[in-house]
């Protein structure tokens, strides 16, 4: 599926009545956008000797964040199925923590790389590096919220 089709599909799914995708997938998509901005800054910073490595790091983070969009949804749907069946609920609940925790870790790396690109990259793209850090922090804040909610959920459901 083409990028714009995937984005439209995700936005439509987020707006739907389906239980997933929800805020975890939105946080992962936001993180992917933040990393993509860093790819742009790096590729447009050919005078900086660290640009190629920065681009590779940003690309790796973007790809993983894109994967987390799907993983978060799948894990939440597995949790709902476990609740309905009454089987493997603790394991399924633990699964709801996997993507948000990884989002938080990757977001910290994006913020760090954004600072590096802000200092060393193309000065005309400083705002893009700064925006990337803002987006990554928002993704991390959302993911942290989901971890807190999902850890404290008693059995009636978990945020997703």
Residues near 25 by beta carbon (within 8 Å), at least 6 away in sequence:
10, 13, 14, 68, 69, 70, 72, 73, 160
Length of the chain: 160
149, pLDDT greater than 50: yes
**DSSP assignments along 71-122, one per residue:** HHHHHHHHHHHHHHHTSSHHHHHHHHHHHHHHHHHHHHHHHHHHHHHHHHS-
What are 2-20's pLDDT values in tens digits?
656 888 999 999 999 999 9
154, pLDDT greater than 60: no
Write down the pTM of the prediction: 0.92
Domain 21-152 has CATH 1.20.120.680: yes
φ, ψ dihedrals at 28, nearest 5°:
-65, -40
Q: How confident is the model at residue 151 (pLDDT cuts 50, 70, 90)?
A: confident
* pLDDT recorded at residue 4: 66
What are 73-114's pLDDT values in tens digits?
999 999 999 999 999 999 999 999 999 999 999 999 999 999
156, pLDDT greater than 80: no
125, pLDDT greater than 70: yes
* pLDDT recorded at residue 3: 59
Helices (H) and strands (E) in the chain, counts: 5, 0
**50-61 mean pLDDT:** 98
Cα distances (Å, whole numbers) of residue 1 to 8, 9, 29, 85:
11, 10, 16, 33
Rounded percentage of the chain residues whose pLDDT exceeds 90: 89
CA atoms of 137 and 103, how far apart (whole Å): 10
């Amino acid at each position: 599926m083409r990028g714009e089709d995937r984005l439209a599909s995700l936005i439509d799914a987020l707006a739907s009545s389906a239980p997933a995708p929800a805020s975890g997938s939105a946080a992962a998509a936001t993180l992917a956008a933040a990393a993509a901005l860093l790819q742009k800054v790096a590729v447009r910073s050919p005078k900086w000797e660290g640009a190629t490595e920065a681009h590779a790091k940003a690309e790796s983070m973007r790809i993983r964040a894109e994967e987390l969009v799907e993983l978060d949804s799948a894990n939440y749907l597995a949790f709902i199925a476990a609740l309905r069946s009454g089987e493997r609920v603790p394991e399924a609940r633990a699964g709801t923590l996997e993507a948000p925790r990884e989002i938080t870790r990757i977001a910290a790396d994006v913020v760090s790389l954004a600072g590096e690109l802000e200092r060393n990259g193309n000065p005309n793209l400083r705002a893009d590096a700064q925006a990337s850090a803002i987006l990554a922090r928002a993704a991390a804040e959302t993911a942290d919220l989901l971890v807190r909610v999902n850890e404290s959920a008693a059995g009636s459901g978990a945020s997703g």
